[in-house]
Amino acid sequence: MPLSRPSEALIHHYLAPIPRYIFLPRTPRKAPTPQHRDLTSTAARMSEKEIKRNPHADFKKVEASRPDWDAGQRFNFKKTADPSWTFGGGANRLHAPEADAARHISIDPYEAGRPAPFNYKLLISAIVPRPVGFVSTMSASRRDGKEDGADGLNLAPFSYFNLMTHDPPLFVLGVASPLERPKDTLRNLLETRECVVNIISEHFVEAANATSVDAPAGVSEWAISGLTPAFDCVDTRAPRVREAVFAVECRLESVREFESRATPGKKTGCMVVLEGTRFWVREDAVNDERNLVAPEVLRPISRLGGITYGRITEALELPRPVFERDVGGMEGYEKLKERQKKKEVSGS
């Protein structure tokens, strides 16, 4: 829900830290065709119907034909597909021989006639599963006491999200809107410099999805979702989601705005870096040392392509190898190198 542009001073304040980072120069490439530029400009205005994220004409009818949710399905560990796998072994036994004969195709994201939404749909279906950052923010006017109730509170899911490092705890958030026309989350972050990132679990996935509604400005996602704002955060004024098993209070670290490659000069999105200042975890989900969250309690939900979400019910464990002990040190490594050379020569 775009609002007015933040002040130039506010934008400059958060763009200023960017020179501290090193960005490698991009490899020169051919300029996008005028045809693709037109398509991209049009794509930015496309509606959900035109993007066709939902492949079903009657979703409720399709859903009714599917098995019921298995609430009794417990989280469990399985062996790996090939417990006898050894170093240098390559793909495991699940790799079908006929897959080697399958042809890979190269896709130019800016090729003539390729609509920009195709890149979006391709990427969100291939870069999976993605964790979802369920972000709660508060407007500056609400923080300053000029609004009350649900006014000035925003709650939105972002699947362009991930943990970047732990010291300090840094998270990255991708926001598909420019600074000139910021979504509520981005605007609130620029104004208040704080938020709460909640992790979505199975027991409120429907409510979380409801907050992605294309509601007009002034409509509360909290009311639409029915989720409970908990105003007990220590470092932020924004509330956390009480139903969330795990949440992180964050402050805004930096913002970098990006320009469209298809339409030079047009700003299309921002990378937001958040620093975690305090963790919240449900008591029954964390161990005594408070350093491990139980997946069987967290029951996290991930995003796949289109309108698809994923749940985690099975897992496998693989210890991190020790070079000397497991690979055999440099002597073992040289043997693996020789084996790899023979494989490359034979083409098998």
Domains and CATH numbers, the chain: 8-22+31-88+108-317 (2.30.110.10)
Hey, what are 157's tokens? 């899911």
Structure confidence at residue 12 (pLDDT): 58
Tokens 């399958």, located at residue: 102
In Å, what is the CA distance from 281 to each residue of 85, 246, 278, 300? 37, 4, 10, 13
Q: Closest by alpha carbon to 207, among 175, 172, 232, 244?
A: 244
Distance, CA of 13 to CA of 1 (rounded, Å): 23
Sequential pLDDT tens for the chain (348 residues): 444 566 666 665 555 444 333 333 333 444 444 444 444 333 344 556 667 788 888 889 988 998 998 998 899 999 999 999 999 999 999 998 888 889 999 999 999 988 878 999 999 999 999 999 999 999 998 888 877 766 789 999 999 999 999 999 999 999 999 999 998 999 999 999 999 999 999 999 999 999 999 888 778 899 999 999 999 999 999 999 999 999 999 999 999 999 998 888 999 999 999 999 999 999 999 999 999 999 999 999 999 999 999 999 999 999 999 999 999 999 999 999 999 988 776 555
Q: Any idea what the Cα angle at residue 206 is, between residues 204 and 210, rounded to 5°?
A: 115
Question: Contact, 273 vs 190, CB < 8 A?
Answer: no
Find out whether 53 and 306 touch, Cβ atoms under 8 Å.
Answer: yes
pLDDT of residue 38: 43
Nearest of 342, 343, 339, 315 to residue 327 by alpha carbon: 339
With tokens 């790899």, the residue in question is 340
* d(C-alpha 277, C-alpha 194), whole Å: 10
